[in-house]
Structure 1
Amino acid sequence: MVDKEIRALATVLLERVGELAKEMAARIRSGAREYHYDAVPDEDLEEACRTHVGNALQALTGQVPLDTAAAADIGRRRARQNVPLPTVMTAYRVGVKYFWESVVAEATTTALVGNDVLVAAATAMWEIQDGITEGMVSGYHDEVARRLLAGDQERSALVEALLEGRSMDADAVWSAAEVLRVPREGPFTVVAAEVPGIGRQALPDITALLTRRGIRSAWRLRPDLQLGIVHLRTPRDLPDLVEVLGQRAERRVGVSPSYDDLNRTGDALRFAKVAMRGGDAESSAVTVFDDSPLAVATAGAPDVMARVAAKVLGPVEALPADERALLLDTLDIWFDCGGSAEEAAKQLYVHPNTVRTRLRRIAERTGRSLTDPRGITELALALRAVRQTPRPPTSESTDDTRKS
């Protein structure tokens, strides 16, 4: 690819590397100013130009193979300086154009090469510049990936520290907010979501989905839970948050009451977990703590409520599975319909008298009247406790699993 005439031309230009690098840097400053390339100090830019010019000319002389590692180092440096890649590419285009003009000018002045050789030199030079550019871009992307990983790890560690309730002074809280990319002042809320499996996200792409709605958040994945700190910018953000959570969730999700001080994140996490446990165990319910007093009341003392449920609904729970499910579902829908048999019947696609018959059976087996406020309260609490408790697999399902 490189003949002796091109080598001679490159050797002459190598003697002017310093001059060429200085002029190339000036051209880049002039040609890329509108792209804000001033983020790079003058001495840094000139050094990079000297490296690239020297690298390209040495490759043209055949003295050494093309050194793409030097280009990769410069790409990493530009990424650390937060120079956008399109801006760097603009500078490279300006620099390559000047380099070729310098080669043509030297060839014309010294008459070292003819036009046919100059065409060959152009081919060689563009291949070399492509190698240099690819090396720079590769280094740039490597640094961006490294910084993103480091940033994710730092944000994850800060989220964990806040969720654990570690006390921070005002400066530390402000710094944490800066790293987490959330405002320094609330209101905030904590989200706790059950994961579908160890190491799997409960809410895939949740950060991006919330960002599209203008909601800022920071997340942490634990073996059993995916946890998030969410900034509620306006009153509308909470229903938007709940809507997005409902669209993505595969398991139960809890949302804490709002709070203003990031130092209270640990307390909010406890409430979010209680709210999460307040949802039906076999569902993907999103339970907001402040909107679900009955659910959080039963979830807040699971051991106590398990005994209450056994005491109140034990006779119904002892029925065959199909009959038990029928009665409990009817009771659940009757509560949701405000105690209206007619409305419950519409949802169950049965006659209202059928609903009343099922409710009478519940009252007879439990000894709790559905016209007495105390009986209704006990049944409601017991039902919520039953719904919140994961049901162990039955012998029938175990046998099916073995057969499969």
Structure 2
Amino acid sequence: MSDIAVSGRHDLRDALDLLSDQVADGILHAEPVYRDTRLPAAAVQPLVRANLAEILAALAGETSSLDPARETGRVTAAEGMPLDLLQHAYRLAGLRIWEELARRLRARTDTGALLRASSRAWSAIDRSSNAAVQAHLEASAGLGEDMARTELLRGVLTGAVQDLETARRALGLPADVMLVVAVTAPGLPAVPTPDGAPAVPTPDGAPGRQDVGVGVVGVGVGPPRVSVRWLTHEGDRLTLVAAPTSDDAHGVLTHLAAHARTGASRPFASLGDAPAALAQARTAVRSLPPGQVGLSRYGDSPLDALLVADGERAAELAAAVLGGLRDRAARDEELLLGTLEAWFEHGGSGTRAAAALHCHRNTVLNRLARVAELTGRDINDPRAAAELYAAVRARRLHRPTRRPAAPRPGS
């Protein structure tokens, strides 16, 4: 018996690539039962190959770690693959192994030996399948807990949860800490962890991939009493940070803001204030001009927050105050707006604005005079200057589409 098993195993090792392709193709394409699972090929193919190698080793009587089977159980649980499909995949692998083994041993006249080889092959399949099923069940239980915590956090942030003390304990949040809610727009870096600790896996395909659809809660590790919880909601990442001080909480969020648009709420102490904090964070992230990354904290730019809170009125303000500039060529309009912004940014100093713009002070003054001519507002009048500043900020935050240039005569 061992001669047939070993001989068959060595023969089948030569066919490992073929068998792997056949089984992976069955899982990904050929078998109708798998068509709605949307398993990624990048995950299926290496798992199939590793499992087949282990099964062939067991068929030859060698020690098998069953690690590939356990990993398969964990991955398929994370991907939401039902247990019956997981078991079917192992039966499919067993069938391909047996067909190839039988083909190579067909010339033998010892039917009993062939039957014993068949028994050994299916025994190896069952052993791997059982290990995968057990790992799948264990991983599914853990994912179920994470999903429950995710929905609990979602309920806290949206105001749907009333028993906030129970929610705090279930989420593992320390008592007597400052809380901050942050909203990070799509295009996300790794979830931050304090003091350079390893990043919590993100739902964006990073190692340890977690399903965006279930929005698994991430737990930050770092200094004592600093906790990070996050989920994906309506395309944005919502992050809840609990820390001893508001500075500690905002320090954690700077990791998010390094490569993504992030808005943070004012610090608060009670989970009951979380829904209001979420609204603040959404306003804060919208206060960042389009295309700009960084951390925008609610309250740091109250005028910008007011402008994004009512986009329609803000657009009307920009059109009413700056309408004359829109009749200029795009390059001229941008030059005048940039000069106006530099003048405001440098406290109304033409000299400092000129240095920032790399031009002469008189050039700045001439441009500002042109702005006054086109808008009817002189920056030396405080009320007119206030309207100009608010209009420029509204224009930057909303970036209206320019009207097409009027056709030239005869064109």
- Tell me the TM-score normalised to structure 1 length: 0.57
Q: Is the 8 A contact 1:167 1:263 kept in 2?
A: no
Specify the SS of the correspondent of 2:323.
helix
- Measured after TM superposition, the shift of residue 133 of structure 1 is 10
RMSD, aligned CA: 3.6
Relative distance call for 1:292 and 1:140 in structure 2 (3 A) is farther
Q: Is the alpha carbon distance of 1:235 and 1:162 closer, same or farther for their aligned partners in structure 2, counting shifts above 3 Å?
A: closer
Q: Contact between 1:282 and 1:390, CA under 8 Å: does it hold in 2?
A: no
In structure 1, what is the equivalent of residue 157 of structure 2?
163
Contact 1:192 1:273 in 2 (8 A): yes
Task: Give the match for residue 52 of structure 1.
Answer: none
Match of 2:191 among 205, 215, 223: 205
1:217 is aligned to: 228
Cα distance in 2, alignment partners of residues 394 and 317 from structure 1 = 8
Asked whether the equivalents of residues 337 and 344 of structure 1 are also in contact (C-alpha less than 8 Å), the reply is yes
Shift of 1:162: 1.7
The alpha-carbon distance between structure 1 residues 301 and 135, as it changes in their structure 2 partners (threshold 3 A), is same
The answer (yes or no) to whether the contact 1:155–1:218 under 8 Å persists in 2 is no
Match of 1:329 in 2: 338
Report the residue type matching 2:144 in the other structure.
A
Q: Tell whether the 8 Å contact from 1:190 to 1:229 is kept in structure 2 after alignment.
A: yes
Alpha-carbon distance between aligned partners in 1 of 2:135 and 2:343, rounded to the nearest angstrom: 59
Q: Which runs of 5+ in 2 are unaligned?
A: 4-57, 75-123, 194-198, 201-218, 406-411
Larger radius of gyration: 1
The one-letter code matched in structure 1 to 2:160 is: R
Return closer, same or farther for 1:203/1:184 CA change in 2, 3 Å cut-off.
farther
> How far off its partner does 1:369 sit?
1.9
The AA in structure 2 aligned to 1:276 is: V
1:194 aligns with 2:190: no
Say whether 1:373 aligns with 2:382: yes
Q: State the secondary structure of the residue aligned to 2:299.
A: helix
| Partner SS for 1:311 | helix
- Runs of 5+ unmatched residues, structure 1: 4-58, 77-129, 197-201, 397-404
SS at match of 2:321: helix
Cα deviation for residue 392 of structure 1 reads 4.1
Alignment counterpart, residue 145 of structure 1, candidates 124, 139, 147: 139
Q: What's the CA shift for 1:280?
A: 0.4
1:361 aligns with 2:379: no
- Structure 2 residue 310 is the aligned partner of structure 1 residue 308: no
Structure 1: how far apart are the matches of 2:270 and 2:231? 19
> 1:173 — aligned with what?
164
Give SS of 2:296's match: strand
**Residue 339 (structure 1) shift:** 2.2
**Does 1:297 pair with 2:306?**
yes
Distance in 1, Cα, partners of 2:131 & 2:355: 64
For residue 187 of structure 1, what is the amino acid of its counterpart? M
Structure 1 counterpart of 2:157, which letter?
A: L
Amino acid at match of 1:173: L
CA-to-partner distance for each residue in 1:221-274, whole Å, 9 max, x for gaps?
Answer: 12342222222322431441342122130xx32111111111211111111111
Query: How many residues end up aligned between the 2 structures?
Result: 270
Given that residues 193 and 203 in structure 1 are in contact (C-alpha distance below 8 angstroms), is that contact kept between their aligned partners in structure 2?
no
**Shift in CA distance, 370/393, structure 1 to aligned 2, threshold 3 Å:** closer
1:57-76 correspondence runs (5 A): none
> 1:317/1:235 Cα in 2 relative to 1: closer, same or farther (>3 Å)?
same
Contact 1:204–1:248 (8 Å) recurs in 2: no
Amino acid paired to 2:190 = P
Write the letter of the residue equivalent to 1:176: A
1:346 paired residue among 343, 355, 361: 355
What secondary structure is seen at the aligned counterpart in 2 of 1:370?
coil
Counterpart-to-counterpart distance in 2, 1:212 and 1:325: 46
Structure-2 change in CA distance of 1:295 and 1:183 (3 Å): same
Structure with higher helix content = 1
Q: Distance in 2 between matches of 1:218 and 1:285?
A: 20
What is the aligned partner in structure 2 of residue 263 from structure 1? 272
Q: Which of 286, 290, 297 does residue 281 from structure 1 map onto? A: 290
SS of structure 1 residue aligned to 2:159:
coil
Q: Are the aligned partners of 1:193 and 1:254 in contact in 2 as well (CA < 8 Å)?
A: yes
**Alignment partner, residue 105 of structure 1:** none
Normalization by structure 2: what TM-score?
A: 0.56
Aligned to 1:107: none
Q: Give the Cα separation in 1 of the matches to 2:233 and 2:150.
A: 10
Equivalent runs, 1:77-92 vs 2, <5 Å: none
**Offset at 1:391?**
4.0
1:248 aligns with 2:248: no
